[in-house]
Structure 1
Amino acid sequence: MTRIALATEAPDSVIRLHPSDDVVIARMPLPAGTEVLPGVVLATAVPAAHKIAVRALAANDKVRRYGQVIGRASQPITAGDHVHVHNLNIGDLEGAAHEQTLADGYAIGSEVQPVQPVAEPATFMGIPRADGRVATRNYIGILTSVNCSATVAHAIADHFRRDVHPEAMAPYPNVDGVVALTHGVGCAVAADGEALEMLRRTLAGYARHVNFAAVLVIGLGCETNQIDAMIESQGLEVGPKLHPFTIQQIGGTTKAIAEGIVRIKTLLKEANDVERVPCRAEHLRVALQCGGSDGYSGITANPALGAAVDRLVAHGGSAILAETPEIYGAEHLLTRRAVSPAVAEKLIERIHWWEEFCRVRGASLDNNPSAGNKAGGLTTILEKSLGAVAKAGTTPLVEVLEYAEPMRAKGLAFMDSPGFDPVSVTGQVASGCNLIAFTTGRGSAFGCAPVPSMKLATNSALWRHQNDDMDINCGALVDGETDLDKLGEAIFQRLLSLASGEKSKSERHGYGQQEFVPWQIGVIT
């Protein structure tokens, strides 16, 4: 099975990931004149996690990291040069030429190996629901059909904030909270278009999410996204778990807020009547994310998370990889693990959609690496993607989902989404994920109610500097304090602990309500 190796050669100052690589990675900030390998002396200072050339390259030569192409030299490069945006770019390795850059092609299904189930699946302390699903948290949610009802939704949720009104929730210790998840759309879009369908699919995914004991859906009343039409189109049912109403129907803002408070008070007692019991890990679905990535992401946290995913799937659980622009240039590593040609072809089709989506707007997929990514050592989208895909481990790819489409199969899935973390995670949660594993090298601050989010630091400097936000230090891998197998096991065990009720750092800070961001794909008129 294809897995990016950690290091085949690792002198004190650099990491060499693959024998065919044209670059090594700096372990630490290195001054000019440092001999990083025999005969390879730095021409200039190089920051930690950045690339150093190990051989001379002519202009337009392909440059390899992980044994894979990450771009072309934009000017001559000599051994010992710092390799980054000043001398490396994507060149012509995008669009029509993209598939030709893949050394062995897509090789659909060539590396699929059956999952070997463990003899005794792991368990966690979960919250069983009547329909057989198992929750990792127990919230009451407030969703909005349109931006116009956001103020009412937040006013209702604020009434039950434990930090402001502790007396309101004191009788309900088994309820994690009341959260309002609002958004900025819902009107001025085509009533039968893709944009509205995607929003409705997202809202429906949250309305039926296992971590919500019950949900209010609040609208204004005159919006394009009519609640009744949304409920019908998405196969939802009004009842004990779903309570819709509109501000105009109730009689205005004040009455709508009062109505919402009354309804939630009636729901809290039943929502509190739960207990955690041992449940098999097969009930876990983990959203795989990376944000604020750096040059260490593909060396430490992402492959370590991939090792945890392999364990999770062997124990019967599932995971969803996403962010289509951030697998661009690495999708062949997934098609080789696709369980059928149909699965692989759907993934390839989404890649082509993104190429065309960018082309007609005069954009490039190589615009994706952010300023922070580049400061952290990542240069091209190809390089970023090769590190990002490592989060998916080595297990077979069982299905490819549209944005916010419910996951049906067990195992590893891919969901189409942009690379912007809040948008992508919102879709993964709507697809049914009840845990989030989020790797970061720059220090992303993120959470996503009603699902706990675990933060994995890619380097020890970040772990020390921003420990308040990080749950696990994957920089220990580069520091030589652990190995990939042990770190993967530690991440898997932490996922079980979070699923059992242990709060993550992001939960303790209260992240989650503002990070609900459905993909806005349509034209606003």
Structure 2
Amino acid sequence: FDGYHRPDGRVGTANVWLVVPLVFCENRNIEVLRQCVADALGDDPFQDYKRMARQLLHGDSAAESTTSSNERLFPNVDGVRFLVHQLGCGGTDGDAEALCQLLAGYICHPNVAGATVLSLGCQKAQITMLQNAIAERDPAGYKTVSYFEQQRSESEEVLIRDALTAIFDGLKQANQVTRQPAPLSELTLGVECGGSDGFSGLSANPLVGAVVDRLVALGGSGILSEFPELCGVEHELLARCSDPNVAERFSSLMAAYQRHAHAVGADFSMNPSPGNVRDGLITDAMKSAGAAKKGGDSPVVDVLDYTEPMTRKGLNLLCTPGNDVESTTGLVGSGANLVLFTTGLGTPTGNPVAPVLKIASNSELASRMSDVIDFDAGPIIRGETDIATLADELLTMCIDTASGRYVTKAVRLSQLDFIPWKRGVSL
């Protein structure tokens, strides 16, 4: 694929500048920066809807706002991404550390050129804590990161001006990097399912598993997450672990998650959603039998806890909750530079850093939500084609997406979801 080569040897499928709050108190300033940058670059993703609102209120004669120029000021940059979250203070020290580890995973991600970080100053998630987490992942200091602390700033105006200056300087720097050929061994697929139906385990999920197997055979990697949705098929995954230590880590993380759930009166059996049950996935084990298919048949080379970076090429397991966005957020934080997201009921999920391809388990959904779905696995259900044939087609779409030749529906809709897991019981 044609990707962005980073100084540490990794390759990105996108090239974005990241703007990050260390605490929820800075979310408002993040929104100020987002609107200012969109206006300055002329790429407001919602300008068509704003025009629609004016026309609905004032009629077709409503004055049109200035349309943005088609000329991109930074053609080698895929955009500026602004994260918001509700963490950083008011929780435990462990919560703050987990947040900083996750943010470090995003800042050091191969799809990220650099970052601008906003801090209030008094919160638990301190700048030094994030800097230490970044240093663990980027010991050579390749990433450009600027930090701004509001309580040390002369005024809000100075804070915003300084942050904007850092963002625009970062964009100039990021724009100097161009796409170059890269081996598929540098591609890491995060695999996720959400809004599953009775067809998911028969079409979309095994299709994704076949793509993962192809990529792993070529030296690439896959990450399978959602531990509550692996309950009932643990024996199958344990049998595929590359060595006893990997198997033991999987067992211990699964057991710890279950104990935590039981301590608050919950259980993995509570995982299926009303939509899952309505479409036939009435037990967690039934749902898990299909969800695990996304991992294909490749050996499991490593098991990661939440926020841990992937270091071994091949199929990895990652401890995350079953919540779609929390899990996808974790997959990207651990290094997935492209996400395959299967759905039977329809979900618009995307990610700020990594492209997310949505695969429908049935053609009715693919047609009804064509603005959200990227690939249709329905022909498998109808017997019109087989998994192997569609896996070749989906792998080709992965390569095109990783090369920037195909833009995912989530990116087109600016669906850029980011929800950290507060390490509680989220099923």
Q: TM over 0.5, yes or no?
A: yes
What RMSD over aligned residues (CA atoms) do the two structures have, in Å? Answer: 1.7
CA distance in 1, matches of 2:133, 2:355: 29
C-alpha offsets along residues 234-269 of structure 1, whole Å, 9 cap, x if unaligned?
425777611111111223433222211111111211
Please give the per-residue CA displacement for 1:445-504, whole angstroms capped at 9, x wherever unaligned.
110011100000001111121111111110110111110110111111111110000201
Going from structure 1 to structure 2, the CA distance change for 1:203 and 1:240 (only over 3 Å counts) comes to: closer
> Structure 1: how far apart are the matches of 2:299 and 2:424?
33
Distance of aligned partners of 1:299 and 1:240 in 2 relative to their CA distance in 1, 3 Å threshold:
closer
Equivalence for 2:370: 467
1:77-476 → structure 2 map (5 Å cutoff) = 124-161=1-38, 162-163=43-44, 166=68, 170-191=72-93, 193=94, 195-235=95-135, 241-476=144-379
Q: Which amino acid aligns with 1:184?
A: Q
Is this contact kept in 2: 1:376–1:441, CA < 8 A?
Answer: no
Measured against aligned partners, the alpha-carbon deviations of 1:218-243 in whole angstroms (never above 9, x if no partner) come to 11011111112321254257776111
Q: What amino acid is the match of 1:272?
A: N
Rounded to whole Å, the distance in 2 between the matches of 1:150 and 1:519 is 18
Contact 2:190–2:338 (8 Å) recurs in 1: yes
- The AA in structure 1 aligned to 2:111 is N
Unaligned runs of 5+ in 2: 48-66
Q: 1:323 to 1:169 in 2, by over 3 A?
A: farther
C-alpha distance 357-159 of structure 1, shift in aligned 2 (>3 A): same
- 2:411 alignment partner, one of 474, 483, 507: 507
* CA distance, structure 2, for counterparts of residue 503 and residue 407 of structure 1: 25
**Matched pairs, number:** 396
Amino acid in structure 2 at the alignment position of 1:401: L
Give the Cα separation in 1 of the matches to 2:408 and 2:227: 27
Q: Is the 8 A contact 1:189 1:522 kept in 2?
A: no
* Aligned mates of 1:212, 1:469 — CA distance in 2: 24
User: Do 1:160 and 1:177's aligned partners in 2 also have CA atoms closer than 8 Å?
Assistant: no
> CA offset at residue 197 of structure 1?
2.1
What's the CA shift for 1:295? 0.5
Paired residue secondary structure (1:269): helix
Q: Offset at 1:169?
A: 8.1
CA distance, structure 1, for counterparts of residue 72 and residue 315 of structure 2: 40
**8 Å contact kept, 2:97–2:125:** no
Contact 2:253–2:305 (CA under 8 A) maintained in structure 1? no
* Larger RCO, structures 1/2 (Cα 8 Å, 6+ apart): 2
Q: Distance in 1 between matches of 2:227 and 2:238?
A: 13
- Write the distance in 2 (CA, Å) between the matches of 1:139 and 1:431: 17
Report the residue type matching 1:506 in the other structure.
A
Cα deviation 1:97-121 (Å, max 9, x = unaligned): xxxxxxxxxxxxxxxxxxxxxxxxx
Distance 1:477 1:432, change over 3 A: same
Residues 187-222 of structure 1 show CA distances to partners (whole Å, capped at 9, x for unaligned) of 12233x3x2221111011011111111101111011
> Residues 82 and 352 of structure 2 are in contact (CA less than 8 Å); yes or no, is this contact kept in structure 1?
no
Q: Which moved more, 1:391-400 or 1:501-510?
A: 501-510
TM-superposed CA distance for 1:410, in Å, is 0.2
CA contact (8 A) 1:172 1:269 kept: yes
Tell me the percent identity. 39
Mapped to 2, the partners of 1:333 and 1:169 lie a distance apart of 52
Contact map agreement 1:126 1:500 (CA 8 A) in 2:
yes
- Looking at structure 1, the residues matched to 295 and 179 of structure 2 have their Cα atoms a distance apart, in angstroms, of 29
Q: List runs of 5+ in structure 1 lacking aligned partners.
A: 1-123
The structure richer in helix per residue is: 2
Asked if 2 retains the 8 angstrom alpha-carbon contact of 1:136 and 1:434, the reply is yes
Counterpart code for 1:206: Y
Tell me which structure has the larger Cα radius of gyration. 1
Instruction: Note the C-alpha offset of 1:271.
Output: 0.8
Q: Which residue of 1 aligns with 2:50?
A: none
| Paired position in structure 1 for 2:422 | 520
